[in-house]
Structure 1
Amino acid sequence: MKYNLILTWFVAVLQTMIACGQATQTDNPLDIPLGDPYILYDKTSDQYYLYGTGGTEHGFVVYSSPDLSHWKKQGVVYSSQQAKGWGTKDFWAPEVYAHQGKYYLFYSAHWKDNPKNELENYRIGVAVADKPTGPFEDMTGKPLFDPGYPIIDANVYFAEDGTCYLYYSRCCYKHPVQSEIATWAKDKGLYKEIEESWVYGIALKPDFSGVIGEPELLLRPPLAMDDQQAEWESRSVTSGEVNRRWTEGSYLFKHKGLYYMMYSANHFAGENYAVGYATATQPLGPFKKSAFNPVLQKNTDKGGVVSGTGHNSVLITKDGRRLCVYHGRTTETGDQRLVFIDPLEVTEDGRLQVKGPTVGPVETK
């Protein structure tokens, strides 16, 4: 009898240890084919919700998980029909925020109001729901605002004083910029001009129905070739891949009084997609890029299997750990973008570090 009791106790303890182990790690890459991933931890349901580009045509899907390890597809949460007709296609980069009892979905889509028949006529929209799983309904039937050029990749920061800030990327489309890189590419016979995307910030109205004031330019590719950031931010050009330099997929968070803005550079569909960061003492800058950039990039040139790492977001887990959520590709999965989760740390001297890209088990607690 005593032996049976001890055995029963041992099995129970072992099962608990296994369950806890399962709940504190995930495996990279996740078997979830999404780009531009964003994870919301919802205190009300004590669940994680994963959104991203892909999974359905002209809309978004959501996956849920109790522990960042076991994921279940919950289905479509938003589509062009719910966008009340303003967004017609290319639904990209969703981010969902819990705010005052509601859930707000910020996203990019192609605007139907297109009298000049522009190929890239993107704007940012906002939809609202009562649950993280939707269904979301568009708030206004039109884009959040029109800056006069195509924009994508919305990110929202909730400041301590109650102000909400929107960050977004102006598209490269029809935005040629003179720089030493552009001159170099022209002299080499690679491209006649180099188009660029830039990151802007602007205050949001409290009810998310629009913006306040005018956008402020926060980040752009470097003008000079001897700039510390020029080499890694120009790889899509210097490799002969495409005549564009991107600054996109921005994400802002605050740590010990300093604002950290992470961003992606290079072609999202190429191997050189990578992540850097800049810091500022105010939500709208001025921002200074880190001397340690990039902080996340391919490892195929070092014997690894991961490339195309970018468009990240940052998740604070229920236990308070900071994780970097991003998409990437592997030599095995080919061009399909998959979700990765790796630890993100800020050192005592303020340096941001992403412990990736990794393949296999990753501790998330």
Structure 2
Amino acid sequence: MKKILSVITLFCVFTACSQEKSTDKPKEVKSNTILLADPTIFYNKGTYYLYGTTTGDFPNGEGFQVYTSTDLKDWKGPNGAQSGLALKKGDAFGDKGFWAPQILSYQNKFYMIYTANENIAVAVSDSPLGPFKSESKEPIIKTGNQIDPFIFIDEDGKKYLYHVRLTNGNRIFAAEINDDFQSIKPETLTECISGILPWENTQNVSWPVTEGPTVLKHNSLYYMIYSANDFRNIDYAVGYATSKSPLGPWEKAADSPIISRKNTKQNGIGHGDVFWDKNNKMHYVLHTHFSESGVSPRKAGIISIEFKDGKIVADPASFQFLNVK
């Protein structure tokens, strides 16, 4: 009987985790603020492109919207190549749970690395607006469940896939990824971050969450920015860790979290990506809860960050929501 109960408990935990990125049916709301979760901004030739997990007009099983701006203030869209979508179900791996995309430019093509069906895939396009299409309808990693991909290309040309594996919590892993972005080198798979600090698990749950990794390099040191706590928790927040190697070991920063409801007055703030504007100023795009009383649909915003004395420092006063005109 004890064994049966353990199996049931494990199933319930995994089921809860598998719903981690989902939200209830989007509310009927009128808001100028762009309704996207897990956002990323890609800058190319004078235009900013905003993508993310859809929480507004489209169900997140249809693909990825894209909005555009030339100044980070006035946004237009969604104006992806396919009815507002940059990537559409049917052109991609998977048929549900399209979450947390990342865009990068490589060898005169635009690549979208994304989650669907709790696995990671890649799609290619000639334009940031799409249409992005997956040449392979197979996930990059074919065993287990993983979400929240981020590709980092080091100065020596080696490429790394950071991602979250759903195993005894949402844990951040890394592995070298092959040049075609279609598979990893499994012998390099390494665990990086798990939620063991008090700020990373404020509700003291049995399935701690660390997710949404972004990795960058500054003065020969690697920085991983990540979020912790369940996204539905008002204490969802952003911290960082450093390493001398892209595969770790990672040392968590003592000043984390650097972005939280305590310094921004926004509940559930986190899970985004770093980008540099046209003036080479660094920002972090992220999402917040819809309101003090409701999680969904989540809203997209940006906050200025910078390197200072080897630390990543956020400017809470710079926080602003992204509004569509």
Asked if 1:145 is matched to 2:124, the reply is no
Map 1:171-182 to 2 at 5 A.
Answer: 171=166, 175-176=167-168
Map 1:241-320 to 2 at 5 A.
Answer: 243-299=206-262, 305-320=265-280
Secondary structure of the corresponding residue to residue 198 of structure 2: helix
Asked if 1:32 is matched to 2:34, the reply is yes
Secondary structure of the corresponding residue to residue 71 of structure 1: strand
Aligned-partner Cα distance in 1 for 2:32–2:271: 16
Gaps of 5+ in 1: 1-28, 111-121, 177-195, 223-229
Aligned-partner Cα distance in 2 for 1:314–1:30: 23
How much does 1:221 deviate?
2.0
How much does 1:308 deviate?
0.2
> CA 1:353–1:152 in structure 2 vs 1: closer, same or farther (change >3 Å)?
same
Poorly superposed stretches of 4+, deviation over 3 Å: 330-334, 357-362
How much does 1:231 deviate?
1.4
**Root-mean-square deviation (CA), in Å?**
2.0
Aligned-partner Cα distance in 2 for 1:234–1:360: 26
Secondary structure of the corresponding residue to residue 267 of structure 2: strand
In structure 2, the residue matched to 1:231 is 198
Aligned-partner Cα distance in 1 for 2:162–2:298: 24
How much does 1:360 deviate?
5.1
In structure 2, the residue matched to 1:156 is 151
Map 1:216-227 to 2 at 5 A.
Answer: 216-222=190-196
Query: TM-score, normalized by length of structure 2?
Result: 0.82
Q: Deviations over 1:61-103 (max 9, x none)?
A: 00011111111111111122111xx402011001111111100
Asked if 1:80 is matched to 2:84, the reply is no
In structure 1, the residue matched to 2:125 is 129
> CA 1:152–1:318 in structure 2 vs 1: closer, same or farther (change >3 Å)?
same
In structure 1, the residue matched to 2:43 is 41
Q: Deviations over 1:296-340 (max 9, x none)?
A: 1113xx7x7411011021011121111011111254683231111
Report if aligned partners of 2:52, 2:101 keep a CA contact under 8 Å in 1: yes
- 161-170 or 327-336: bigger deviation: 327-336
- Which residue type is aligned with residue 51 of structure 2? Y
- Which residue type is aligned with residue 277 of structure 2? T
Secondary structure of the corresponding residue to residue 256 of structure 2: coil
Which one of the candidate residues 174, 180, 192 is aligned to 1:207?
A: 180
Query: TM-score, normalized by length of structure 1?
Result: 0.73
Asked if 1:338 is matched to 2:289, the reply is no
- Which residue type is aligned with residue 344 of structure 1? I
Q: Deviations over 1:28-70 (max 9, x none)?
A: x971000000000013xx2110000005232100001111111
How much does 1:163 deviate?
1.2
In structure 2, the residue matched to 1:53 is 53
> CA 1:136–1:246 in structure 2 vs 1: closer, same or farther (change >3 Å)?
same
> CA 1:61–1:291 in structure 2 vs 1: closer, same or farther (change >3 Å)?
same
In structure 2, the residue matched to 1:118 is none
How much does 1:168 deviate?
0.0
Asked if 1:103 is matched to 2:110, the reply is yes
Asked if 1:169 is matched to 2:164, the reply is yes
Report if aligned partners of 1:324, 1:343 keep a CA contact under 8 Å in 2: yes
Secondary structure of the corresponding residue to residue 286 of structure 1: coil
Aligned-partner Cα distance in 1 for 2:222–2:119: 26
Report if aligned partners of 1:236, 1:244 keep a CA contact under 8 Å in 2: no
Q: Determine which structure has more spread, i.e. the larger CA radius of gyration.
A: 1
Report if aligned partners of 2:39, 2:53 keep a CA contact under 8 Å in 1: yes
Report if aligned partners of 2:299, 2:321 keep a CA contact under 8 Å in 1: no
> CA 1:361–1:61 in structure 2 vs 1: closer, same or farther (change >3 Å)?
closer
Q: Identity over the aligned pairs, expressed in percent?
A: 37
Secondary structure of the corresponding residue to residue 233 of structure 2: coil
Report if aligned partners of 2:87, 2:132 keep a CA contact under 8 Å in 1: yes
> CA 1:359–1:258 in structure 2 vs 1: closer, same or farther (change >3 Å)?
closer
Aligned-partner Cα distance in 2 for 1:313–1:30: 22
> CA 1:359–1:342 in structure 2 vs 1: closer, same or farther (change >3 Å)?
closer
Aligned-partner Cα distance in 2 for 1:361–1:216: 35
Map 1:56-71 to 2 at 5 A.
Answer: 56-57=58-59, 58=61, 59-71=63-75
How much does 1:263 deviate?
0.8
Report if aligned partners of 2:172, 2:211 keep a CA contact under 8 Å in 1: yes
Aligned-partner Cα distance in 2 for 1:316–1:30: 24
> CA 1:30–1:102 in structure 2 vs 1: closer, same or farther (change >3 Å)?
farther
- Which residue type is aligned with residue 100 of structure 2? A
Aligned-partner Cα distance in 2 for 1:203–1:332: 40
